[in-house]
A and B are shown apart, each in its own frame.
Chain A
């Protein structure tokens, strides 16, 4: 089945630094990728939708200058947390839609735990 590879699985960084999270679709082309954030014991919160070759669409309340999303190819989308602060610590998950499929199937990455010290 289709696989979305998300890296890193976990990252610890100092406050003020930037962190990049990658999501790759390994055996399909993903026109659309979704980025979520999940706090402990809570549900997923959609942060933004990225489409290959165009600007990402951010959900209300999500700072686009803080969370930079790039979807430069059909197999790679990245989320960069800029000038990270402790309140950015969270679990980040991506999901991707296979452009070859006309159905509703989404494939999820394994997530990235970000801890900002």
Chain B
């Protein structure tokens, strides 16, 4: 069975600083995608960043970057220069060959002004 584990229920960071959210996963598939989604209080799911498993280069989207360690099955999200608008629930997700998403439990990110 495929699983996604987020071991940090809650994280807090000072505004303008950097924070890393952890995610580990397990899959037997050789080709898959990994995602980080943000869910603000509006509850709209927003794609933050995605990574193709076959790509060794870590994905980057402005202040958001990932550390993808395929052998270790680790996929952490780094948020640089944290802003108040980054406060949200962050979900790590794995997409299988049927395009279904397997979700982690989520990490609540608090930004301290």
A110 proximity list for chain B (CB < 8 A) = 42-44
Q: Smallest Cβ distance from A15 to chain B, in angstroms? A: 24
A106 proximity list for chain B (CB < 8 A) = 95, 99, 101
Q: Smallest Cβ distance from B5 to chain A, in angstroms? A: 11
Q: How many residues of A contact B (CB 8 A)?
A: 18
Q: Are A43 and B101 in contact, with the CB atoms below 8 A?
A: no
Q: Smallest Cβ distance from B85 to chain A, in angstroms? A: 18
Chain A interface helix/strand/loop/mixed: strand
Q: Are B95 and A43 in contact, with the CB atoms below 8 A?
A: no
Q: Smallest Cβ distance from B24 to chain A, in angstroms? A: 15
Q: Smallest Cβ distance from B44 to chain A, in angstroms? A: 5
B62 at the interface (CB under 8 A from A): no
Given contacts A43-B91, A108-B44, contact A32 B106 (CB under 8 A): no
Could you give, for residues 40-72 of chain B, a 1 whenever the CB lies within 8 Å of some chain A CB and a 0 otherwise? 001111000010000000000000000000000
- Report the contact-size class of chain B (Cβ under 8 Å from the partner): 10 to 19
B103 proximity list for chain A (CB < 8 A) = 43-45
Q: Are A43 and B44 in contact, with the CB atoms below 8 A?
A: no
Q: Are B98 and A44 in contact, with the CB atoms below 8 A?
A: no
Q: Within the assembled complex, what's the spacing in Å between the Cα atoms of A114 and B95?
A: 27
CB within 8 Å of B: which residues of A? 32, 34, 38, 42-46, 49, 91, 93, 95, 97, 104, 106, 108, 110-111
> Could you show 20 A-B contacts with beta carbons less than 8 Å apart?
A32-B99, A34-B100, A34-B101, A42-B106, A43-B91, A43-B104, A43-B105, A43-B106, A44-B103, A46-B100, A46-B101, A49-B100, A91-B43, A97-B99, A104-B50, A106-B95, A110-B42, A110-B43, A110-B44, A111-B43
